[in-house]
Amino acid sequence: MPEVVELPVSLYKSETKPDWCPGCGDYGVLNCLQKAVSKLCIQPKDLLVVSGIGCSSNLPGFIHTYGFHSLHGRSVPVATGAKLANPDLNVVITGGDGDAYGIGLGHFLHIARRNINLTYIVMDNQIYGLTTGQASPTSRKGHKTKSTPAGNIETPLNPLVLAMVCGATFVARGFSGDANHLSDIMAQAIKHKGFSIIDVFSPCVTYNKVNTYPWFRENIYKLEDQGHDRSDYDAALKRAHEWDTKKIPIGVFYQTIAPTYEEEDVTLKHGNPTKQKLGLTPEQAQGMLKEFI
């Protein structure tokens, strides 16, 4: 029998079509995710996509896999629970910069340090899209938005630096306008053993008139074109700081191998809990069911 090299992308197409504005960067992210999982031959039944709330967080509704649309900023704990309950599942978190780095920031830092084997894809449009264009944690200083009409006075946070200092083992940035590059990063991130984060420049064509497709094309460059060594932590951190000083790098900044949470956990190291025997007699099991259900 011929070896299966990849599954058809059509397998992941949902009957529900995206309702994003025409031209929204999130279309590119969705297509790249479908391409990446097809390349990795991950069956829809073996993939769970979890999100919070926001335009970008609607993504699980548009991909034919298991999906969970949780509360604003709460995708990480939901995904963590799912992954630890069934470590055989491929779990991908999708959401926006507001969801990940605003209301969900506490969870983001903790998932980075835990090194749970899942992937976080943040559609970073430097704005709150769903709530019609307020400033987000990654809006640049001086950006005039609906909530900052005189210009944003806050310093933006740097998600890649944050992820790195918290111990993330795969840290990358992509651009939704460069599909081949982004889907390749996604495939690497999903394949990576441990926590992987990809911050994706995903333009909001309706509410962000500054960070547009042409603006990104003008301002980004690829790390791999500069011979960047992804295993060099200090070099990666330096590159991650570049946004305000030079052109903006995209690509894989940092990757290292470290034990995952699942490998170290006293129960999970014995394998998938859904496949382990409970060690109860039928009578004991019935008793427990009566007590709790």
Q: For 52-181, where are the E strands, in sequence order? A: 66-69, 90-96, 119-124, 170-175
The DSSP result for 218-255, as a single string, is HHEEEGGGGT--TT-HHHHHHHHTGGGTSPEEEEEEEE
Among 9, 21, 161, 179, which residue interacts with ligand SF4 (rule: CB under 6 A)?
21
Q: Which two tokens stand for residue 103?
A: 């209301």
Q: Which amino acid is at 68?
A: F
Least Cβ distance, residue 11 to ligand TPP (angstroms): 26
- Position 122 contacts ligand SF4 (CB under 6 A): no
Residue 199, interface with ligand TPP (CB under 6 A)? Answer: no
The answer to the question of residue 98 lying near ligand TPP (CB under 6 A) is yes
The DSSP element (H or E) to which 62 belongs, if any, is: none
Question: Distances in Å between the alpha carbon of 184 and those of 99, 140, 195, 217?
Answer: 24, 28, 17, 18
In the complex, what is the shortest distance from the CB of residue 150 to ligand TPP, in angstroms, rounded to a whole number?
A: 21
Contacts of 126 (CB under 8 A, 6+ apart): 97, 136, 138, 139, 140, 143, 156, 204, 208, 210, 211
Nearest approach, Cβ of 55 to ligand SF4 (angstroms)? 3
**Does residue 26 bind ligand SF4 (CB under 6 A)?**
yes
**Footprint (CB under 6 A) of ligand TPP, residues 40-69:** 53-56
Phi, psi angle pair for 230, to nearest 5°: -65, -15
* Element spanning 197, H or E: strand 196-201
Instruction: Choose from ligand SF4, ligand TPP, none: what does 98 bind? Cβ within 5-8 Å by kind.
Output: ligand TPP
Can you name the residues that pair with 169 across neighbouring β-strands? none
Binding mask 46-65 for ligand SF4 (x = CB under 6 A): ---------x----------
- Give me the residues paired with residue 222 across strands: 250
Window contacting ligand SF4 (CB under 6 A); options: 84-92, 156-164, 202-210, 275-283: 202-210
26 Cβ neighbours under 8 A, 6+ residues apart: 18, 20, 55, 56, 59, 123, 176, 202
CB of 172 to ligand TPP, least distance (A): 19
Which of ligand SF4, ligand TPP, none interacts with 24 (beta carbon under 5 to 8 A by kind)?
ligand SF4
Shortest distance, position 155 Cβ to ligand TPP, whole Å = 18
**Segment interacting with ligand TPP (CB under 6 A) among 1-9, 97-105, 180-188, 192-200:** 97-105
Binding site for ligand SF4 (CB under 6 A): 20-21, 24, 26, 55, 125, 129, 204-207
Could you list the residues that contact ligand TPP (CB under 6 A)?
53-56, 72, 95-99, 123, 125, 127-131, 136, 204
